[in-house]
Chain A
Amino acid sequence: MTDTTVKITNSAMRGRMLREFWFYFSQNRGAVAGLVVFLLLVLTAIFASVLAPHDPTQQYRDALLLPPIWDENGRAGFILGTDAVGRDMLSRLIYGAQYSLFIGIVVVAIALTGGIIIGLVAGFFGGWVDTVIMRVMDVVLAFPSLLLALVLVAILGPGLTNAMIAIAIVYQPHFARLTRAAVMSEKAREYVTAAKVAGASNLRLMFKTILPNCLAPLIVQATLSFSSAVLDSAALGFLGMGAQPPASEWGTMLAEAREFILRAWWVVTFPGLAILISVLAINLMGDGLRDALDPKLKRS
């Protein structure tokens, strides 16, 4: 009986919160632009096979290193030119969107889940559990993230999956720290004490009572990590430790293109531009999210 009323109130609340959220979000023009670009990226990734004019791994042996179509040496059919083994740049860039989004999602998912669990445990139990966990997080954070990711990838072996795992491990302490801090401050609140008195189990307390109340900073951190993950995985690819050729991951494409820096500017320029645009779009969105979710969080 009481249950139903609560549910109605909840959904009404949720609707209002969403509307309020969208109101603030849409105030920020940059954020909306970011969202549009991001949605376009998602669509590109989903419909890559429809959009791409060529197979991204198909080698046209008679069309090595062709410049873009507006150059006098360009050839119709290869809008952004071809790479060293005659693959269509545009098609590779389009398929590259799949990699970047996939990397972002997987990294954030792993880091978020891991971080939340670790942070909840540390914050909720406190004492020596907290000390040990946080000291381990300190150790991870003491290494520059890219260096640590590099060593981890070297251990796991170069490749896309391992690069994602390495980056997720490196990002995870940020989530753990955020969660822990939020839990610590929430733990003392009345509603938690009330739930405890009512006999809620530890697990229920952690996940159902406390967690939903510290989501805002986590969401903001997640967007930030999403864009960093795209950047860092591209950096790993660039250093030869990320996705391996012939994958059309943008960083890997850049690494392959590096030897042509003087001769074929297009193989160097476009993949980097693609990385920049997608990271920028996600960051713009992140800014908007932060403003909309929690006006108090307005700092970088």
Chain B
Amino acid sequence: MLRFILSKLLYLIPTMLGITLVAFGFIRLLPGDPVLLMAGERGVSPERYAQISAQLGYDQPMWQQYFTYLGNLLQGDLGNSIVTKKPVLAEFLSLFPATVELALVAIVIATLIGVPVGVIAAIKRGSWFDQISMTGALVGFSMPIFWWGLLLIIFFSGVLQWTPVSGRISLMYFFPSVTGFMLIDSLISGQEGAFASAVSHLILPSIVLATIPLAVIARQTRSAMLEVMGEDYVRTAKAKGLPMRRVIGVHALRNAMIPVITTIGLQIGVLMAGAILTETIFSWPGIGKWMIDSISRRDYPVVQSGLLLIAGIVMVVNLIVDLTYGLINPRIRHK
């Protein structure tokens, strides 16, 4: 098992290196220039421009900049933002919990609803429940979530005034950030109503972010269940007269879950992309919005290291999914 993990990790290294190259290369290809953006309408004199570029190290040859960057990376230095002048890693870490919280809640919602819906739809194949839920899933799968978010805001925050418009918690509550997760921090704080406030802020964005994964998971669960239920051992179990619940619970579900878990894991990349849109719509202070802002400000170090961090996280999550898959499906491990 250890060898399996190690070989997988080793496999990541060239990909990681490729990612640094892509991130670095892309950024240098971006037109526009942070120095010009900072100067704005006023403009900047050529001498001053040269001075600032030199200060930022942009006057050196490309390859040299890349190796400096790589060297710094190995020492854990991801550079400083040009706009705020602060370390990229510190900024990332201060925003990352917000995105993780949103994504986790979304994936939990998607799984808790998607799996049962898929199972029931498979068992009652062809029923009205199956048809409605699968149509619903297809609608969800086809949803432009940026529009969906706007609709939810118009309705729940605008018309009904049930949910707050943006932010992570009501400003009435103020407590130190211990874990960075608002749901947990609000509980730790012990302030009355803080947790409820955090939940009410989280609900719309997480619904929007959960929409597509929910649809995918429901569809995947249904087809995996159908496939497993058609296999010999399930039919045998049924024929042996085992109760239906037991057949489904013990035999079918366990085997059907293998591809479903992979699907859930692979939704992480989808969630990261969704987070960009969701965070933009709900002014959620997470890394998706941070990346968009940084791209438009041409904040090279942030975009470069941000891409690297995000890709790294997606890869690590995929690796964990791979390993889990190996654990629950021994056939893979022995191969």
Contact = CB atoms under 8 A, between A and B. Distances in A.
Given A139-B15, A142-B19, 7 more contacts: A146-B276, A151-B295, A227-B142, A231-B142, A238-B147, A272-B147, A298-B226
Contact of A287 (B29, B138, B295): B138
A299 B310 contact: no
Interface size class of A (residues with CB under 8 A): 35 or more
A300 B30 contact: no
Nearest to A299: B223
Interface stretch (A186-194, A205-213, A273-281): A273-281
A145 interface: yes
Interface string B110-152: 0000000000000000000000000100110111101110110
B141 A261 contact: no
B76 interface: no
Interface of A: 30, 135-136, 138-139, 141-147, 150-152, 154-155, 157, 227, 231, 234-235, 238-239, 251, 254, 258, 261-262, 265, 268-269, 271-272, 275-276, 279-280, 282-284, 287, 298-300
A283 B142 contact: yes
Interface in B92-108: none
A36 to B, nearest CB: 16
A275 B18 contact: no
Contact of A276 (B19, B143, B153): B143
Nearest to B263: A300
B227 interface: yes
Nearest to A278: B142
Contacts of B139: 276, 280
Interface string B144-188: 101110110110001000000000000000000000000000000
Contacts of B141: 283
Consensus secondary structure, chain B interface: helix
24 contacts: A135-B18, A138-B18, A141-B269, A142-B15, A142-B311, A144-B270, A144-B314, A146-B273, A147-B310, A150-B292, A151-B30, A154-B30, A154-B296, A155-B29, A155-B31, A231-B142, A238-B147, A238-B277, A265-B154, A272-B150, A272-B151, A275-B144, A276-B142, A300-B220
Contacts of B314: 142-144
Interface size class of B (residues with CB under 8 A): 35 or more
A254 B15 contact: no
B88 interface: no
Contacts of B79: none
Contact of B15 (A135, A268, A300): A135
Interface in B230-285: 259, 269-270, 272-274, 276-277, 280
Nearest to B288: A147
B102 to A, nearest CB: 14
Contacts of A269: 151
A267 B281 CA distance: 17
A275 B139 CA distance: 11
Contact of A235 (B14, B30, B144, B219): B144
B89 interface: no
Given A142-B15, A287-B138, A154 B295 contact: yes
Contact of B147 (A239, A254, A280): A254
B224 interface: yes
B307 A143 contact: yes
A234 B15 contact: no
B83 interface: no
Given A30-B135, A154-B295, A239-B292, A261 B259 contact: no
Contacts of B226: 298
A136 B303 CA distance: 20
Interface in B28-45: 29-31
Contacts of B272: 144, 147
Residue of A146, A258, A268, A282 contacting most chain B CB atoms (<10 Å):
A146
Nearest to B219: A300
Contacts of B259: 299
Contacts of B158: 262
